[in-house]
């Protein structure tokens, strides 16, 4: 890595994981409070100051249900901001690495979803993220867009930490069993992003990344408690029994063939990475 690499959304889950796995002083992290990706003057001043070679955009509006009521805010962070970053990257000749989501899919197709699969988001969150992808693609060719799914880690709020918290005062939980995807350890994704940057042969474009394997939320919760030796009774329920404002994809297992082949990545199975995360959470006392 040569010049500075600017990370936007540095206080979020993936931003904190990038900070944790990086052994490189060239990464400069900005929280959303320190660098608003919708503020062109503010971001342009950072480009002028640091002369980055790469930027990583982890900033996003990720409150899936709240987005249904806050479409303008979600659009600003997930579509307008990424478009602005892409414009500045074109102006300064900078590679943009942007993180997207499996929510761009409707989730009705069972089978591994590759990058060419038809997109059809069912809610505001997925729609604004897809619009953000398209805005970047239209503005600047030096982009790497990575769709991922079911992110968790030691940091921020996520499913693993929520399950462990609920286990402290519950002995029974209802968990949705008919939504299928792949849990993704954000530390693994962070390591993959840094490996991609280190790869001198940047093949620009759209990629999918998650851990290997397939699970329902019920399977995921079961593994969390099994591996952390917690005794809870889990009751599998249907999505219809747990209504949410935004509809989730019923099936969104991503095909990682392209990213593995292009960047020679070895991706762990989700259960193996979950073990690592649970050990680290235990060491941190979380």
Distance CA 19, CA 25 (A): 10
- pLDDT, residue 25, reads 82
Per residue in 266-277, is it b (16+ CB within 10 Å) or e — as a string? ebbebbebbbeb
- pLDDT, residue 7, reads 98
- pLDDT, residue 2, reads 46
Per residue in 71-101, is it b (16+ CB within 10 Å) or e — as a string? eeebbbbbbbbbbbbbbbbeeeebbbbbbbb
Q: Which of 181, 206, 204 is nearest to 116 (CA)?
A: 206
Fold for 5-154+183-213+252-268, please state it: Rossmann fold (3.40.50)
- pLDDT mean values, one per 10 residues, the chain (286 residues): 84 97 91 96 97 97 97 98 98 98 96 97 98 98 98 97 95 97 98 93 93 98 96 96 95 98 97 98 87
Domain boundaries, the chain: 5-154+183-213+252-268
Handedness of CA 232, 237, 239, 244 (dihedral sign): negative
Q: Which of 243, 250, 236 is nearest to 65 (CA)?
A: 243
Longest dimension (CA), the chain: 56
- pLDDT, residue 124, reads 98
Contact 89, 81 (CB under 8 A): no
DSSP code, position 185:
E
Strands 143-148 and 151-152: unpaired
Catalytic residue ranges: 125
């Amino acid at each position: 890595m040569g010049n500075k690499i600017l990370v936007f959304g540095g206080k979020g889950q993936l931003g904190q994981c990038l900070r944790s796995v990086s052994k490189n002083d060239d990464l400069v992290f900005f929280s959303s409070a320190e660098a608003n990706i919708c503020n062109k003057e503010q971001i342009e001043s950072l480009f002028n100051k640091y002369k980055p070679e790469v930027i990583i955009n982890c900033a996003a509006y990720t409150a899936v249900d709240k987005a249904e009521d806050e479409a303008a805010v979600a659009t600003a962070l997930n579509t307008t901001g990424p478009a602005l970053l892409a414009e500045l990257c074109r102006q300064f000749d900078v590679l943009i690495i942007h993180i997207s989501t499996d929510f761009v899919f409707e989730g009705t197709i069972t089978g591994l979803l590759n990058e060419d699969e038809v997109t059809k988001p069912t809610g505001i969150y997925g729609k604004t993220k897809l619009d953000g992808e398209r805005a970047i693609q239209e503005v600047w060719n030096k982009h790497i867009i990575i769709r991922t799914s079911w992110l968790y880690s030691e940091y921020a709020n996520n499913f693993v930490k929520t399950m462990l918290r609920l286990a402290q005062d519950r002995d029974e939980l209802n968990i949705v069993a008919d939504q299928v995807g792949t849990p993704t350890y954000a530390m693994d994704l962070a390591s993959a992003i840094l490996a991609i940057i280190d790869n001198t042969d940047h093949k620009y474009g759209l990629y999918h990344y998650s851990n290997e394997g397939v699970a329902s939320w019920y399977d995921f919760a079961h593994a969390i408690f099994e591996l952390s030796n917690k005794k809870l009774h889990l009751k599998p329920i249907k999505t219809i029994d747990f209504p949410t404002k935004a509809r989730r994809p019923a099936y969104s297992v991503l095909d990682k063939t392209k990213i593995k082949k292009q960047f020679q990545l070895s991706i762990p199975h989700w259960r193996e990475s979950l073990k690592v995360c649970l050990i680290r959470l235990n060491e941190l006392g979380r």
